Amino acid sequence: MYSCYGALSNTPHQSDPYQSESSDGVKLTVSDKLQPTLTVNPQSSVFTGDTVTLSCDVGQSTGWTIHWRKDSNPESTDAATKTIESVSVSDGGRYWCKAQRGEYYSEFSNTAEITVKVRPKPAVHVRPDRSVFRGEKVTLTCDIQETGDWQYSWNKEKNQVSSARKDQNYIISSVDWSHSGVYSCEGTQSKAPTYSQMSDGVTLTVSGECVHLFLTSFQPKQIE
């Protein structure tokens, strides 16, 4: 416990030194060298486009400047919370932090590793073909390689034509001119990844009715 008081030397009008009252006591607590705690949210693997937040916790004490490192390379952020919006694969790696107050530096924190996976991108398959005739039945299939409980939505010329549903097939029972256009799809689900990328567009071309010509073979009449 530390306290202080002030005193004045003798003056011409005062034979004894003047002394103030003592201050209130202040307790100074010395602990082992500080090691911050680093947490990351979400804790599981993330996908490109997600937001990740890292927090460097130094306890209840104040006045700290935070230094960040990724794979041993210094990072510019000096705040206690580091948010990475729309993460890319290059943001994956091992992160540390340490705290500075005046000339004092803490230990490095524990390590937090971020794994960033490429968000799945569907592929659109068309049966029987991308070029069809009026009246034919066409099936478009949204194929997502990442396993999960997906629901599928379809767009034509970037306008939604079918909202989220379990069936990955979009069926046109009898195509007409109006069905020509560029189709794309995307998937959503309740667990990570909660949504897929939008697929590349596939162009469906509808032509006039297919006319089948039947040639009847005949035997030329012999001329006598």
Domain 123-207 sits in CATH 2.60.40.10: yes
Q: What is the mean pLDDT of residues 4-18?
A: 64
Query: For residue 177, what is the DSSP state?
Result: G
Convert the pLDDT of each residue in 94-141 to its tens digit: 999 999 999 999 999 999 999 999 999 999 999 999 999 999 999 999
Q: What pLDDT score was predicted for residue 69?
A: 94
Is pLDDT of 88 > 60? yes
Fold of the domain spanning 33-117: Immunoglobulin-like (2.60.40)
pLDDT reported for residue 216: 39
Per the prediction, the chain carries an average pLDDT of 87
DSSP for 187-198, please give it.
EE-SSSS-B-PP
Question: What are the CA-CA distances from residue 106 to residues 84, 96, 109, 163 (Å)?
Answer: 24, 12, 9, 53
Of 76 and 53, the structure prediction assigns the larger pLDDT to 53
Is the confidence at residue 221, as pLDDT, over 90?
no
Contact 34, 58 (CB under 8 A): yes
Question: Scanning the structure block, which residue is given the tokens 């794979």?
Answer: 71
Query: What are the start and end residues of each CATH 2.60.40.10 domain in the chain?
Result: 33-117, 123-207
pLDDT of amino acid 152: 98
**154-188 pLDDT, tens per residue?**
999 989 999 999 999 999 999 999 999 999 999 99
Cβ of 13: how many Cβ atoms within 10 Å?
5
Mean pLDDT of 17-37: 74
> What are residue 15's phi and psi, to 5 degrees?
-80, -30
Tell me if the pTM is above 0.75. no
